[in-house]
Amino acid sequence: MSRRERAVDALVVGAGPAGLAAAAELAAGGAGEVEVLDHAPGPGGLPLHLTHRGFGPRRSPLGGPAYVRPLVRAALEAGAALRPRVLATGSPAPGTVDVTHPGGLERITARAVVLATGARERPRGARLIPGTRPEGVLTAGELLRSVRLHHRPAGRRAVVAGTGPGALAAVRALREAGADVVALVTGHPEAPLLPPRLRVPVLTSAAVAEVTGADGLSGVLVTGPGAAVRRLDCDTLVLTGEGVPECELARLAGAALDPATRGPAVDTALRTSLAGVFAAGDVLRGGGDAPGAAAEGRHAARSALRHLAGGGRPAGLLRLDAVAPLEWITPGLLPVPGEPPPRGRFTLSVSRRVDGPVLLAEQDGRPLGRWPLPHTALPGRPLHLYGMPFAAADPLGGPVRVRIGRTSFPAGPSRG
């Protein structure tokens, strides 16, 4: 098999916000030859296909393409090479990546690799929703691309599962395409606050339990709350909100996975278990937002620059274990000696609502700290823990267990 062998200094896989930001930082920081691969026809990652105004500054959010344009420009100006239509297909050794592109096959070896391969929304099969297999069931990502970029019709009556930003973007796109949104279905007990323009019926504590229809979707059965079962006639079902790390390449390279996030396990410097291989963005936990991904990309790049300059691996690693109802904490490993996480904070996720939440950490039965949170903890909303909260952990001790509890009085202004 004829593979062209090439070497670069730093290789970034994925040209989304995380990969672009990493490339700009690497090139500007003197990494040498920096290359970014993406199998899509152009750089930008997911936001390139998401035209809704939800990106960047909260007060004046941008459409996805407008949001990523400066990231693309910054990477190019810093001297990184952006290579579209290049798919990374394997990694025979850490630091080596096999690719396919219209010009042929290559084996690229790099002194530092940043994996920024993003996430996908969990599709119907993986959600184990029973029933028939008609056309018309799709994820928000596919819907938005299909409607906005390929100008395809979206059906007439749609049901949307989920209530996060993806669901709202889906409602907007469906409406624009002339579809009637019959209902939002959410497992949460409360309806989300919908902007007035997006008012649609919301079924809470409910779930799509079955799909019906032979060739095309004819409807869905929704269960809940409680024992209620109802049938909603629809020709489109949009599934949103459950993200899965796109970590095939990390696994092929042999990187250890974090059992809680199912993304590559990383420490606060975003080092994976493989020397010289870093990971950033949605691949770490299957979701997030674009600015957060970009910040992680820069953070990983700074670690990669230290690695390129001869910096060593940490002397040890402490594991952070999230205890239910916490689902995960990222980064999930603490290097010894400690280093700050991206944006100076850890991100956590909770599987059910907790009012007046407080985070608690302990190691080998010894309390390490107690941190009340300012807002109610809700599923699907990231929680943040700032600073170097685990500094008191014993570097030779066992894993640090992180729990969520309730303060006896509501958190808020009274917090000392």
Residues of the shown chain interacting with ligand FAD in the complex, contacts defined by CB under 6 A: 13-19, 37-40, 45-47, 50, 54-55, 87-88, 116-118, 121, 140-141, 144, 165-166, 169, 246, 249, 281-282, 288-290, 293
Binding positions for another protein, 251-270, rule CB under 8 A: 251, 262
Number of residues that bind another protein (CB under 8 A): 45
Residue 28 partner contact from another protein, ligand FAD, none using kind-dependent CB cut-offs of 5 to 8 Å: none
Binding mask 157-196 for another protein (x = CB under 8 A): ----------------------------------------
DSSP class of residue 146 equals I
- Which lies closer to another protein via its Cβ, residue 7 or residue 149? 149
HSE of 74 in the Cβ direction (CA atoms, 13 Å)? 22
Is 3 among the residues that bind another protein (CB under 8 A)? yes
Q: Which of 197, 56, 39 is nearest to 116 (CA)?
A: 39
Which helix (H) or strand (E) element contains residue 160? strand 157-161
- 3-state DSSP call for residue 99? strand
Is 120 among the residues that bind another protein (CB under 8 A)? yes
Span interacting with another protein, options 108-116, 245-253, 336-344, 347-355, rule CB under 8 A: 245-253
| Tokens 């870093």, located at residue | 278
Least gap, CB of 187 to another protein (angstroms)? 16
Are residues 154 and 143 in contact, defined by beta-carbon separation less than 8 angstroms? yes
Is 133 among the residues that bind another protein (CB under 8 A)? yes
Least gap, CB of 135 to another protein (angstroms)? 8
77's tokens: 């100006």
Is 100 among the residues that bind another protein (CB under 8 A)? yes
Binding mask 205-244 for another protein (x = CB under 8 A): ----xxxx-x-----------------------------x
Residue 150 partner contact from ligand FAD, another protein, none using kind-dependent CB cut-offs of 5 to 8 Å: another protein
Torsion of CA 393, 398, 404, 408, to 10 degrees: -60
Least gap, CB of 165 to ligand FAD (angstroms)? 5
| Of the residues 131, 356, 395, 399, which one makes contact with another protein according to CB under 8 A | 131
Least gap, CB of 220 to another protein (angstroms)? 12
| Tokens 């999930």, located at residue | 332
Span interacting with another protein, options 53-61, 85-93, 320-328, 357-365, rule CB under 8 A: 85-93
Contacts (Cβ under 8 Å, ≥6 apart) of 47 = 16, 17, 55, 64, 65, 67, 68, 290
CA distances from 51 to 146, 232, 276 (A): 12, 29, 35
| Of the residues 103, 189, 311, 367, which one makes contact with another protein according to CB under 8 A | 103
| Of the residues 62, 138, 167, 220, which one makes contact with another protein according to CB under 8 A | 138
Contacts (Cβ under 8 Å, ≥6 apart) of 380 = 163, 164, 188, 241, 349
CA distance 77 to 381: 35
CA distance 407 to 266: 31
Contacts (Cβ under 8 Å, ≥6 apart) of 208 = 129, 159, 161, 185, 220, 221, 222, 237, 239
Q: Which of 209, 121, 100, 215 is nearest to 164 (CA)?
A: 121
Residue 104 partner contact from another protein, ligand FAD, none using kind-dependent CB cut-offs of 5 to 8 Å: another protein
Least gap, CB of 282 to ligand FAD (angstroms)? 4
Is 85 among the residues that bind another protein (CB under 8 A)? yes
Residue type at position 254: G
Residues within the interface to another protein (CB under 8 A) = 1-3, 39, 85, 87, 89, 100-105, 120-126, 128, 130-133, 135, 138-139, 141-142, 145-146, 149-150, 152, 209-212, 214, 244, 246, 248, 251, 262
